[in-house]
Structure formats: structure tokens, C-alpha cells
Amino acid sequence: MSRRSLPFLKSLIQTRSVTYMPRPGDGSPRAVTLIPGDGIGPLVTNAVEQVMEAMHAPIYFEKYEVHGDMKRVPQQVLDSIRKNKVCLKGGLKTPVGGGVSSLNVQLRKELDLYAALVNCFNLPGLPTRHQNVDIVVIRENTEGEYSGLEHEVVPGVVESLKVITKFCSERIAKYAFEYAYLNYRKKVTAVHKANIMKLADGLFLESCREVATKYPSIKYNEIIVDNCCMQLVSKPEQFDVMVTPNLYGNLVSNTAAGIAGGTGVMPGAGNVGNEKVVEQKKANPVALLLSSAMMLRHLQFPSFADRLETAVKRVISEEKYRTKDLGGGCTTQQIVDAVIANLD
């Protein structure tokens, strides 16, 4: 290197910007909005509260009573979620028929919660028919058949509109490919029914294809939804990340969860359960505990997330504590106590 180049290097070093990387977990405890919800919701959210307290996790909950039979989500709840930017929610029961709007859908639309992510994977110690399952289902969460645009044309004839837009399709495709890229995933599969709904699902596919060209390191393929369900139950290990419109995502994520052990243990795949499980207090808290670990990681508290995930996986691998959905007879509290006992 010549002496003439030294002043240039010196000036480059002096003008170079410095990127500050905060240590995970630095700063004040974070507020999280908590909606216990209906059915098993209060049981499993209480399980999370107990485990968080036992870990001394740097979060605190702002709890609100919201139930599926309400006409709307109270404004103070929406304000709390907007302020905290994080919410942990139990299931909200949606009345079937009768024209009653789902509060789950209201929340998604009001807060533009456009991406639903469910990770379905084999847990050591939990026997399943298929091995090597590790599927991430990323579902568009604001439009499609969930748009709620229905009316009775004439008595006995109802018209329901499925809305697909370029904006929402591109947005969910970008989310899926970015997730795959950042998490070292190799393939994204778009699920569709464009052979029948040529315009609506065709627009969704067109958007996915355009986004795929910007991620050449990630393999992209497409599958029709009915074939997808058949392939899921016969050879689920072929799937990696799946990106779907709204309705298909609901079906595909629940199918994938069932293959990997059930909605009781898969993060992001909760439900409201049934009255008997609530009365006996035997709801499985694992799904929400693992979801809360994802939340901790999102809040940049990865060490707490790892501790929680490790404790839950230890309890499952021991095969001693099982709720009814996994073939056992344990109560929710017994699972919680076992998880707390396994915290490092």
C-alpha cells in the first residue's frame, strides 16, 4: 500500500457510520396486552402468566376481558394493543351463523394483522405418524373469504364475495420469502385453487411469482389446495414454508398441526376447546407457552425464549406429563408445575 493512499483510508475510517447493536434484553420491562378470551383461554393464558413470573421475564401484562359474544372489541383494548404493539390472546368463541361478526376477524381488520404464522414440527417424545415434519404456514389474514361481504340476493339465495387484492397478496408473499430468507429456509410453496378461481387465486399466484424472482436462493413452487391436503397427510416432510390465502391457510395450518401432534402443542394454532375440558381444567397449555416463547423472541429477549422452549420440550420428552389430547390425564396446572420445575 502506498503512502499516498493512507490519508484516504484515514478519512474513510473517520466518516464510517457505527452501528450500535443493543444486547438482547436491555432496557425496561415491556408491557403486553393480555386477552384471556373464552373456553380454555383463561386456563392457558394463566399458565403463561405463571411461567413468566417464575422466569422473572422482563414483561408485564395489561389484562382485558373480551368475549366472543360482544358486538365489538372495546376501544380501550385496541388502544392498549396499539400502544404496546404486542398482544397475547386466548381463543375468542365465534357464534356459528346468525350474522354475528367474529371478534377475531374484527381484531385482524382493525389492527391490520395481515400475517398469521403457525409452525408445525415434531416434538421429541411425542409419537406421530410422520417424522421430519417442520412446516411453517404463513396465511394472509385480512381478506379472501373472510372479507365478510355477504348478502341475501333473494330469499334462499346468498351471495358471498371473495376479495383478493394485489397489495395484500404481494405483502404476504414478501413476508413469507423474507421469513424464509432470515430463518435459513430453503423453499416456499404457494397454495391456491387458480385452476377454478382463475382471476382471484390467479392474482395471488401472480403476486407470489413476482416476489419469488427477488429471492433466487429460495426454491419456489405451487400446489393446488386439494392436492396440498393429500400431500400433507401422506408426505408432509416435503414442505418447508407455505404461503396461502386466508381460508386455505386455516385449513392447511390445522391439518399440519394435526400431523405434528395437534393444535394443543403447535405455536400459533390455539382453539377454545370444549366445556368438559374447561370444567376439568385439563386444557393443554403447550401451544400458548410456545407461542409466548415466540413473543419473547420478538421482544428481543431470546435467552428467556430459549429457557421456556427448552423447559416445555423437556416436559414433553419425559413422557410423564400429558393432557387428554395427548393421551394422558394431567390437568393444566400439573403441566405448568412441570414446566416451571424444568426451567434452568
Look at residues 187, 206, 209 and name the one whose alpha carbon lies nearest to residue 197: 206
Q: How far is CA 326 from CA 38, 93, 126, 151, 283, in A?
A: 22, 23, 8, 42, 11
Grid cell in block for residue 101: 361478526
Per-residue model confidence as pLDDT tens digits over 40-75: 999 999 999 999 999 999 999 999 999 988 989 999
**Amino acid symbol at 99:** G
What's this model's pTM, rounded to 2 decimal places? 0.87
For CA atoms 81, 241, 203, 163, the dihedral sign is: negative
d(CA 332, CA 303): 25
Strands 144-154 and 157-163: antiparallel
Least confident of 38-42, 100-104, 178-182, 206-210: 100-104
Which CATH class for the 129-260 domain? alpha beta
| In the predicted structure, residue 95 carries a pLDDT above the cut 70 | yes
Helices (H), the chain: 6-15, 41-55, 75-84, 103-111, 166-182, 200-212, 225-234, 246-260, 275-280, 286-298, 302-318, 332-341
pLDDT of residue 16: 42
The ranges assigned to domains in the chain are 28-113+282-343, 129-260
Distance of CA 105 to the CA centre of its chain: 15
* DSSP-based three-state secondary structure for 38: coil
pLDDT in tens, 204-235: 999 999 999 999 999 999 999 999 999 999 99
